[in-house]
């Protein structure tokens, strides 16, 4: 909060004079705490990510106040890079970031447009520019989220049109950064190579946030939250079986953190349904329908010796 002496000194120095700012009132007015609460509900763990998002929001809040009292200069650079493995919450955090930017007045609309290379790059001469520009038009006033952004750059293919899309993106990221925030996302090692090959992107990206893999206990909490949202629950034996499932699944190919947990629960629900309807003479209670039993979990291929699960087979 600005005290009276600070305001007086600013006035004497020729800086615009402003009334003291009630910081709590400013935060309550834009409802940032509501966004943080929603983020905590949606995502288990990710403490370093949430801490960084709060730091960015604090920076933007101060910048908003500076604008109010006439101290602002150029708008801050807000383009970001989210790195991490699949299923670590990058898209969800991008959605909440778009909301924060909108509430604080740094984007007009606060919507998120999520794309991949196929949405931006054409397959023949003259196709890429209109595709990229149309996506940018849709994203203006909000956030453009480019997943697996490194696929835009394919130097091994001389006839690839990704470079044309990159050049358009770089121009817009610089000239219209007060009306569009771009978030580039993907695996950390590949994103580092992408930035090294495209220094224009690195110079325009102000915030780099790494998303860690979930711990086993966090994955269990995620599973239980997903089940609760759908009015299911593990019994004690099923919970113990799913803890073992997590341990095994993480050692096998194509594990995608929360995404793999969601796929596993979909398969478990299918097996539970098959078990329930296997006895048509049985009278079912709500508790029967809600409860996941150990057999529903243990029937997974993950428990088979030498299993190599793929896709949605869990």
Summarised one tens digit per residue, pLDDT across range 41-67 is: 889 999 999 999 999 999 999 888 888
Reported confidence tier of residue 312, pLDDT bands at 50, 70, 90: very low
Domain limit, last residue, from 185, 211, 237: 211
> Across the chain, what does the average pLDDT equal?
88
Distance CA 244, CA 75 (A): 50
On whether both 253 and 298 belong to a single domain, the answer is yes
- State the pLDDT at residue 305: 65
On whether both 204 and 225 belong to a single domain, the answer is no
* In-domain check, residue 281: yes
Q: Quick one: DSSP state of residue 95?
A: H
* Residue 8 clears pLDDT 80, i.e. is over it: no
Q: What is the mean pLDDT of residues 164-171?
A: 94
On whether both 172 and 236 belong to a single domain, the answer is no
Domain range spanning residue 284? Answer: 216-303
Distance CA 59, CA 74 (A): 14
For tokens 């088979």, the residue is 304
**Higher-confidence position of 18 and 120:** 120
How many Å from the N-terminal Cα to the C-terminal Cα in the chain? 54
* In-domain check, residue 165: yes
Q: What is the CATH number of the domain that holds 254?
A: 1.10.8.60
Q: Residue 187 burial (CB < 10 Å; 0-12/13-18/19+)?
A: middle
- pLDDT tens readout for residues 86-116: 999 999 999 999 999 999 989 999 999 999 9
On whether both 152 and 49 belong to a single domain, the answer is yes
User: What does 234-296 look like in DSSP terms, one character per residue?
Assistant: E-HHHHHHHHHHHHHHTTSTT--THHHHHHHHHHHHHHHHHHHHT-TTPPPPHHHHHEEPHHH
Structure tokens given for 40: 């905590």
Domain limit, last residue, from 196, 211, 226: 211
- State the pLDDT at residue 124: 81
Q: Residue 138 burial (CB < 10 Å; 0-12/13-18/19+)?
A: middle
- State the pLDDT at residue 306: 52
Is beta strand 181-186 parallel, antiparallel or unpaired with respect to 80-84?
parallel
CA distances from residue 221 to 54, 195, 243, 281 in whole angstroms, order as listed: 23, 35, 10, 35
On whether both 229 and 152 belong to a single domain, the answer is no
* In-domain check, residue 245: yes
Q: What is the mean pLDDT of residues 214-229?
A: 96
State the total domains in the chain: 2
Decide if 1 contacts 22 (C-beta within 8 A).
yes
Domain limit, last residue, from 148, 179, 211: 211
On whether both 236 and 187 belong to a single domain, the answer is no
Reported confidence tier of residue 258, pLDDT bands at 50, 70, 90: very high
* Residue 249 clears pLDDT 50, i.e. is over it: yes
On whether both 163 and 88 belong to a single domain, the answer is yes
Distance CA 14, CA 163 (A): 47
- pLDDT tens readout for residues 281-310: 888 999 999 999 999 999 999 998 655 544
Decide if 224 contacts 280 (C-beta within 8 A).
no
* In-domain check, residue 311: no
Listed in sequence order, the residues at least 6 apart from 46 whose beta carbon sits closer than 8 Å to its beta carbon are: 88, 89, 93, 211, 212
* In-domain check, residue 310: no
On whether both 22 and 54 belong to a single domain, the answer is yes
* In-domain check, residue 163: yes
């Amino acid at each position: 909060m600005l005290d009276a002496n600070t305001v007086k000194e600013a006035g004497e120095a020729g800086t615009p004079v402003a009334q003291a700012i009630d910081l709590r009132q400013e935060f309550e007015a834009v409802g940032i705490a509501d966004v943080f609460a929603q983020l905590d509900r949606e995502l288990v763990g990710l403490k370093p990510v949430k801490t960084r998002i709060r730091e960015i929001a604090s920076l933007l809040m101060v910048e908003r106040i500076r604008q109010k009292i006439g101290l602002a200069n150029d708008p801050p650079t807000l383009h970001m890079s989210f790195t991490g493995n699949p299923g670590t919450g990058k898209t969800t955090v991008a959605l909440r970031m778009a909301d924060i930017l909108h509430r604080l007045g740094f984007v007009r609309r606060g919507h998120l447009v999520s794309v991949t290379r196929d949405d931006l790059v054409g397959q023949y001469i003259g196709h890429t520019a209109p595709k990229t520009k149309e996506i940018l038009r849709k994203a203006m006033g909000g956030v453009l989220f480019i997943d697996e952004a490194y696929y835009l750059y394919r130097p091994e293919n001389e006839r690839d049109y990704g470079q044309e899309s990159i050049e358009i993106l770089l121009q817009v990221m610089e000239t219209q950064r007060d009306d569009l925030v771009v978030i580039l996302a993907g695996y950390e090692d590949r994103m580092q190579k992408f930035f090294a090959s495209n220094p224009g992107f690195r110079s325009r990206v102000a915030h780099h946030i790494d998303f860690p893999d979930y711990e086993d206990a966090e994955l269990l909490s995620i599973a239980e939250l997903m089940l609760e949202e759908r009015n299911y629950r593990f019994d004690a034996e099923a919970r113990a079986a799913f803890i073992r499932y997590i341990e095994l699944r993480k050692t096998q190919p194509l594990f995608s953190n929360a995404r793999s947990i969601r796929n596993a629960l979909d398969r478990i629900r299918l097996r539970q349904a098959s078990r329930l309807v296997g006895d048509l003479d049985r009278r079912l209670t709500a508790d029967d329908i809600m409860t996941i039993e150990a057999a529903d979990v243990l029937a997974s291929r993950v428990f088979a010796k030498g299993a190599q699960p793929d896709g949605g087979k869990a």
